[in-house]
Structure 1
Amino acid sequence: MLPLEPEIPSYAAFAAALVDATRATPPIVTGPPGKGAVKRYNVYRNNVTVSLVNALAAVYPAVQRITGDEFFRAMARFHIRATPPSSRLLFEYGRDFPAFIETYEYARGLPWLADVARIERAWLDAYHAADAEPLSAASLAATPPERLADAVFTAHPATRIVRSRFSAVTIFAANRNEAPVGQIDAGTPEDGLITRPDAEVIVRHLPEGGAVFLESLISGQSLGEAAALALRCSPSFDLAAGIAGMIQAGAFTTLSLGAA
């Protein structure tokens, strides 16, 4: 007779209860005679939750500084209960934490907090992205001027763009270190470009029209198409400054030209 397969629902219950303290200890949990299996499971459950909370704090230090430790850890526990980890890599956990913040009742007074979290997540993803040599100014200059509008660019693996209706880039920058934070007008829309051309992740403000321009290039549109779209959305968009900025930031790695 073949051995019986493990009861998957029992193991699923074991995992689900680890991140939800309101659940009873699963029946599958047993211990040696005279030992408290429930107590031991609860200790293990608490250790798992603390580890996940600490993982979120490591990914979102600016969010934690803004809200304070007690608020952050309470919010993180609600998130953990709603969204258990699906990867063995702790740095992958919390990818949907910004979306959770948007729906978290007690964070409604900080409507820009979710976008700050999105920048922090983009910062971490850029940090772990593959290395690649950024496109140089010389390579761009070697493109025949009459063909420049046809140029299609390949984004650097670390390139990310975060758009916000609030001053999320300024708030992020002000809270990523221990320096005192001054008064910030949170109501000014800001877009951010996150790159890692070398070893250091850099977050830059994008000028008006810059996000549309770069998002178009990242999606595979030609330089001419991206410029036209950016100018339609923002007539004040400075194309020359936009091109210079993307090269300086190391946002792309190569360019190619279609058929003449």
Structure 2
Amino acid sequence: MRLSDWQLTFERYLLGHSATANPEFGASLIGGPTLAVDNGLAIYHNAYQARLQEVLRGDYPAIWHWLGDNEFEQLAAAYIRKFPSAHYSLRWLGKGFEAFIHQHLVLEQGAALAELAALEWAFTLAFDAPPGTPITLQDMARLPPEDWPTLRFCLNPGVQWLKCSFNSLALWRSVKDETEFPGSLVLAMPQVLVIWRAEMICQYRSLESTESTALNRMIQEGWSFAELCTELAVIYGEEAPLQAATWLKRWIHDGWLQSIRRIQRH
């Protein structure tokens, strides 16, 4: 057996469901005086699978707490079988967990669980994201007044945006605070969360509907500051520019915005 074939066989064995190696592969190894080949391989296989389980428990502690040891282990094992680790870093092992839950469980069981997975993964993404170059209030103060109407913005890389239909934040918070775990509930109104990293600590904030719409329009639809003020005038009247500036100041203070783009003048 060539070395590359042997390595691929070893990889398939580690990623496989069974700890029993096929006879041809086992025959390519030599056991020791106190440990047979089959036993040694089984230990290696089980240790690798246990490490993958450990990573998923670390990425999704609220789901682990909700399901308990046995159910979480079964769900994680099914996920690992379908989506084995394909990256040199285990950091990305849990990337598809939310989508897998949607596929693996019926809607009544999986919707709330998948949303909680999305929330936990958003914290992971926020923590590991590159720092970017956030705009500062000093940057804004240096802008001439005539540039304000044409300002456009984009989010800093670590800022995550999530719309929750269930009380996922309350579930996550209870595990983090080690308080009584509440039951899963459908919210009367969806809750928009923004998650970001500030000085190596993840922060989050819930946005009320008008602010979340304003931020979404500026970031996702590319509205300029003047367009935002025009839209807000329907709600706030003459106070629209002040409200838009107040939100913008807070978004910048929290480090959400990375770059400034202006409409080209003709």
TM-score bracket, shorter-length normalisation? 0.7 to 0.9
Is 2:200 the partner of 1:195?
A: no
Per-residue CA deviations over 1:65-97 (Å, capped at 9, x if unaligned) read 222222212211111111110112122211111
Aligned-partner Cα distance in 2 for 1:112–1:39: 41
- Asked if 1:223 is matched to 2:224, the reply is yes
| CA positional deviation for 1:120 | 1.3
Equivalent residue for 1:206? Answer: 207
Distance 1:141 1:220 in 2: 25
The 8 Å contact of residues 218 and 228 in structure 2, kept in 1 or not, is answered as no
Name the larger-Rg structure: 2
RMSD, matched Cα: 3.3
The normalised TM-score by structure 1 is 0.80
Q: What SS class does the counterpart of residue 166 from structure 2 fall into?
A: coil
Q: Are the structure 2 counterparts of residues 48 and 221 from structure 1 closer, same or farther at C-alpha, using a change threshold of 3 Å?
A: same
Q: State the match for 2:258 in structure 1.
A: 253
Deviation at 1:163, TM superposition (A): 2.1
Q: For the structure 1 residues 198 and 7, does the alpha-carbon distance in structure 2 shift closer, same or farther, using more than 3 Å as the test?
A: closer
Worse-matched range after superposition: 35-44 or 61-70: 35-44
The residue aligned with 1:17 is 13
- TM-score by length of structure 2 reads 0.79
Contact 1:153 1:217 (8 Å CA) reproduced? yes
Alignment check: 8 A CA contact 2:126 2:196 kept = yes
Structure with a larger share of its residues in helix: 2
Contact 1:19 1:81 (8 Å CA) reproduced:
yes
Contact preservation (8 Å) 1:154, 1:253: yes
SS in 2 for 1:256: strand
- SS of alignment partner, residue 25 of structure 2: coil
Matched residue of 2:85: which SS? coil
Query: Which moves more between the two structures, 238-247 or 126-135?
Result: 238-247
Distance 1:54 1:144, change over 3 A: same
Structure 1 gaps of 5+ residues are: none
The answer on whether the counterparts of 2:101 and 2:110 sit within 8 Å (CA) in structure 1 is: no
Q: Which residue of structure 2 aligns with residue 62 of structure 1?
A: 62
Matches within 5 A, 1:17-56: 17-22=13-18, 25-26=21-22, 27-29=24-26, 30-32=28-30, 36-56=36-56
User: Residue 140 of structure 1 aligns with which residue?
Assistant: 140
Please list every run of 5 or more consecutive structure 2 residues that lacks an aligned counterpart in the other structure. none
Question: How many positions carry a matched residue from both structures?
Answer: 254
* Superposition map of 1:169-188 within 5 A: 169-182=169-182, 185-188=185-188
Structure 1 counterpart of 2:149:
149
Corresponding residue for 2:165? Answer: 165
Alignment of 1:95-114 (within 5 A): 95-105=95-105, 108-109=108-109, 111-114=111-114
CA distance in 2, matches of 1:226, 1:212: 13
Following the alignment from structure 1 to structure 2, what is the Cα–Cα distance between the partners of residues 40 and 147?
69
Deviations 1:11-39 (A, max 9, x none): 43432332332475243333326863222
C-alpha contact (below 8 Å) 1:158/1:195 kept by paired residues: yes
SS in 1 for 2:161: strand
Identity of aligned residues (%): 19
Q: Partner letter of residue 254 of structure 2?
A: A
